[in-house]
Amino acid sequence: MRHWLMQEDKIKHIVLSFIITMIAYYYFDLFTASMISLIVGTAKEIVDKYYYKSGFCWQDMKANCTGIVLACITTL
């Protein structure tokens, strides 16, 4: 089994969370931008669980948080 970070789906989560955070940071402060991205990622996982029935994936959330942290580091 490959490391969770090397899965294509996880890389997409990292990139999209990074992009959402950076776009939101253009309009809001860094904390608010990070929370917006976290809420979007969490909402996506909830939709996966209840609508698509594929389940809530904590590995996806870990990837989302990685993207948010990278965006925060980029803004320093």
Task: Give the chain's domain count.
Answer: 1
Parent domain of 41: 4-75
What are the Cα distances from residue 74, in Å, to 22, 37, 67, 71?
Answer: 9, 15, 11, 5
Q: What is the pTM of this model?
A: 0.89
Could you give the CA distance from residue 73 to residue 14 in angstroms, rounded to a whole number? 14
pLDDT tens string for the chain (76 positions)? 567 667 788 999 999 999 999 999 999 999 999 999 999 999 999 999 998 888 899 999 999 999 999 999 999 8
DSSP 2: -
